[in-house]
Each structure stands twice: as C-alpha cells, then as structure tokens.
Structure 1
C-alpha cells in the first residue's frame, strides 16, 4: 500500500514537472539582412518614401523570459534601397545622407521598461543622439518568433537639413527581426 502511494506520488510529481514549460535561455543572434528588415519611412509631398537597408551587421543579445536585450548594429549608408534613381540621388546627396563622408549609420541600445522600449544612441551623418523605439514581440502560439521596433526621429537633430521643401522633418524607423530562421516581414 505504501509502495503504491509512493509510486502514485512519484507519477504525479513527474507529470507536474512535465507540464512546466521549458525556460528559454538568453540567446545571441547575428544580425544580417536575412533576419533583420531595417526600414526608414519619410513623408514626401504626396506620398511616403520607404527605404530598406540591404547591408547591415551586428548582434542582438536577448532573454525572452527576463525581457532584456542589447543590440549593436551598423548599416552601410549607401545600401539604402529607395523607390527610384531620382529619390536615391537626392537622399544620397551631400545635403542629406552623404555616404561619401558618412559611410555608416549605427545604433546601440538596450531594452528598458520590462522589455517594451529599446533605449539607445543612433549615430547618423556623423552625429550621435539618443533614440528610443517601442518594442513589440511577435508570437506564434507560445513561441517568440520576432522582435519589432519602431520610433520616429527629427532628422534635423542629425544634420539632415537638405530637401526641406520635399521631405518632412520626421522620419519613422522600423526594424523587424526574425528569431525563427524565416525571412523577416514588416510588422502590421
């Protein structure tokens, strides 16, 4: 009888342990264009211009349980793909991004506010200023499959003073990072 109770107790304990979800360990992800979709969205006279960085490299360290992260990523300025040659010529001009003088843009930040804000510094056009973005976690069932960030910057703070009559002052920045090996897709 005691043996039966011990076996029953052991079986219940084993069942209870198997119901506890596995704790995800902190991870490091090498950021590439294959798993990070980095875009800028600028308002022009009648439409929005979206640019997509085609060359980037960096790391994302994250702990999905603790909701902590650290990102360090560098973008090749000249790799910003734009809708057409006219727009590209203007954006790459000396009065705007000027990749000949400023070949890279970089961002370093950490998650704050229980993982809901990515707070950091953006270096662009030779100037570094604080730049924070909202963090959204993409789930597929109970599995974390992506991190998305979005923020808006005042381009004049970074010395992007050109094209004042054609491009709005505020630029939205979005980053969609895939954690499941599938290509990233823009957040909806």
Structure 2
C-alpha cells in the first residue's frame, strides 16, 4: 500500500515538473515593430513553412508547400523603410503529398525545375501598414521571369529563445500573383492562374 502511494506521489511530482517546464521556457514575447531588436537575421530552418494555394477545377483549393527555403533579413525598427529581405526557394523541393504529382509539377509544363532550379525574392522598398505589419515590395524571379510582387509581412513579436540561445523574430507573410505572368500558364483556367503564397517563419539574430 505504501509502495503504491509513493508511486502515485512520484507521478504527481513528475507531472507538475513537466507542466512547469513549458512555463519556464516560454519567452517573454514583445509585440509591435518598435519593440523589436535591430540586427541581421537568418532564417531558422527548423521553423519555416512556405505554402502555396491554387484553385483546382473550381471545386477546391489545392495546398502544397516547398520544403527547402533560405532567407535573410536586415531590420531596424527605427527605420523600417530600410529593411531588406531576401529569400531563395528550391523548386525541386515542392511537396504535394503525392510523389507522382510532384514529379509532374517539377516538369517542363509547370515549374521546369531542371532549367529553373530556384526562385528568388528581394525587396526594393518597404512601407508600414500599422504597428505590427508592413508591405515588402520586391522582385520575384520565378521560371526565368522577374516581376514585381508585394509581400504583406506581419511581425508576430520578438524574444530571447532559451532553447536556441538566439533572439528570435516571429514572422508571417502573404502574397498573391498570377502564375501566367511568369510563363507558367499550363491548364489555365481549369487550374487557377492566381497563386496565393503563405509564409510562416522565425528569424534568428546573428
């Protein structure tokens, strides 16, 4: 009976310790662009998702992602207009949860990933929307074509991350553009021309 009671107490203690660990490592996140720290930032490869969405036959929205991406950010909250964001996406890393479809999308009718292995984005100007967000206007190079794109960026906040040892910015972004503007017009309009991109990422101060 005593042994059983000791085991119960131990489980309770372990449970309390585990539940408190989450509270101990949760950072004190400061929100608002002006609260964030100036610096040079690199993408945290363990915390990034780049999703694409496209209308499929007028019936549904098809969602996929790119698994290999890198980015850097130069950021000063006192001069957000001077912020610089650059990113590169590996086209062959497309993930559609269907290996056969992924091979098709890498092919010459779609991304032509052998000929155009990477897509690039680089800012040309930045304009503030509100205390947490801004529009990063830039040039997107995709499928051998370079055209202007507006990226709406939301800064979720910044904090010291105890798990990595880096001061970290939380970041999300959205944009929409016409794929035919980049020479990818196969099966339009059965497959939608408009592509929506969503990015969820963390950037580590260097």
With normalisation by structure 2, the TM-score equals 0.67
The answer (yes or no) to whether the contact 1:28–1:61 under 8 Å persists in 2 is yes
The answer (yes or no) to whether the contact 2:42–2:203 under 8 Å persists in 1 is no
How far is 1:145 from its partner? 4.3
How far is 1:165 from its partner? 5.0
| Inter-partner Cα distance in structure 2 for 1:135 and 1:171 | 17
SS at the partner of 1:78? helix
Seen in structure 2, the aligned counterparts of structure 1 residues 107 and 65 have a Cα distance that, compared at 3 Å, is same
1:75-114 map, 5 Å? 75-110=89-124, 112-114=126-128
| Inter-partner Cα distance in structure 2 for 1:28 and 1:55 | 21
SS at the partner of 1:163? coil
Where in structure 1 are there 5+ consecutive unaligned residues?
A: 1-21, 182-188
| Inter-partner Cα distance in structure 2 for 1:150 and 1:133 | 6
How far is 1:24 from its partner? 4.6
Give 1:36's aligned residue: 48
RMSD of aligned alpha carbons? 2.7
| Inter-partner Cα distance in structure 2 for 1:150 and 1:23 | 22
1:62 to 53, 75, 79: 75
How far is 1:87 from its partner? 2.8
1:28-177 map, 5 Å? 28-45=40-57, 46-68=59-81, 69-110=83-124, 112-114=126-128, 116-139=134-157, 145-177=169-201
Equivalent residue pairs, number: 159
SS at the partner of 1:34? strand
The answer (yes or no) to whether the contact 1:138–1:147 under 8 Å persists in 2 is yes
Which shifted more, 26-35 or 154-163?
26-35
Displaced runs of 4 or more, over 6 A: none
Where in structure 2 are there 5+ consecutive unaligned residues?
A: 1-33, 160-166
Higher relative contact order (CA 8 A, sep 6+): 2
| Inter-partner Cα distance in structure 2 for 1:147 and 1:70 | 14
The answer (yes or no) to whether the contact 2:136–2:150 under 8 Å persists in 1 is yes
The answer (yes or no) to whether the contact 2:43–2:202 under 8 Å persists in 1 is no
SS at the partner of 1:120? strand
With normalisation by structure 1, the TM-score equals 0.73
